[in-house]
Amino acid sequence: MSSIMKFAPIALKNFFSKPVTVKYPAEPIIYPEGSRGHVVIDSEQCISCGMCQRVCPTGAITVDREAKTWTINRFDCLACAYCVLKCPKKCLEIKEGYQAPGKTKYSETCTKEPEEKIEPEEKKEEN
């Protein structure tokens, strides 16, 4: 019974004070300064040089030059932004916010669209 009496003042105080929780779906989240966010890529600017793959401390990034794909394992990424600093084309950046949580471990792959080659028109010789 005495443990309930110890809890009663705290319960009354919390009952009459402002809520501490955030109204997330109704109001957008304001991320605190210094939060890391997540790495995103502009695949059109990427030249598939693999520099981000080489400097990633956890090996979360994989670049396939032949297939022109860039893959990141979000669970292994520390969001240290070292890949962003070392990218020669500056196609990587840190976006505010975090990825949506999921039940399974997955990798996110971006593919660069192949450039369309413009073939010259055949000239017809007039006789």
pLDDT in tens, 69-81: 999 998 899 999 9
pLDDT at 1: 56
Instruction: Tell me the residue length of the chain.
Output: 127
CB 48 within 8 A of CB 112: yes
The more confident residue out of 109 and 115 is: 109
pLDDT at 91 over 80: yes
The more confident residue out of 12 and 99 is: 12
Residue 67 DSSP class: T
Cα 58 to Cα 62: distance, rounded to the nearest angstrom: 11
Q: pTM for this one? A: 0.65
> For 29-111, CATH number?
3.30.70.3270
